[in-house]
Amino acid sequence: MRFKAFSFGSICIDGATYEYDVVIDRDRIRKRRKKPSKRFRDKFGHTPLSIEEEIPWKCRQLVIGGRWGLAGHGRGEARSASPQIRLAILPTTEAIKTLQKNPEETNAVLHVTC
């Protein structure tokens, strides 16, 4: 997986530009479905990632790129989903670097405006 460019509002992965948050699950890229987390929007001032979304847990490391982290009991959910999962919550630019180091074992949720 090649990250060509990242700027506020867009990310280019393998030649395709995405202007929305993305989920990377075992080399598959899909749009983040925020609807289950919308109820947290007023509390956080933006739509945070919550455990009610389809989070790609099947990995050794889950990288969350953006300022939102996990709303609710997300860290506990990550630990119970698989005790072996390393959870990294980083600014998106740092999350991309971490993802590139070990892409085979790392899934990600990347926010394009952080």
Q: In this predicted structure, what is the pLDDT of residue 106? A: 93
Q: Two tokens at 74?
A: 């997300």
Structure confidence by residue, pLDDT tens digits, 38-58: 888 888 778 888 888 998 988
Written as one string, the DSSP assignment of 60-93 is SEEEEESS--EETTHHHHHHHH-TT-EEEEE-HH
**Secondary-structure class of domain 21-110 per CATH:** alpha beta
Q: In this predicted structure, what is the pLDDT of residue 82? A: 66
Q: Two tokens at 90?
A: 């980083």
* Nearest by Cα to 64 from 33, 21, 34, 35: 21
Residues ≥6 apart with Cβ < 8 Å to 97 = none
So where are the chain's domains?
21-110
pTM here?
Answer: 0.86
* DSSP-assigned letter for residue 99: H
Q: Which parts of the chain have pLDDT scores under 70?
A: 68-69, 72-82, 114
What pairs with residue 7 in β-bridges? 10
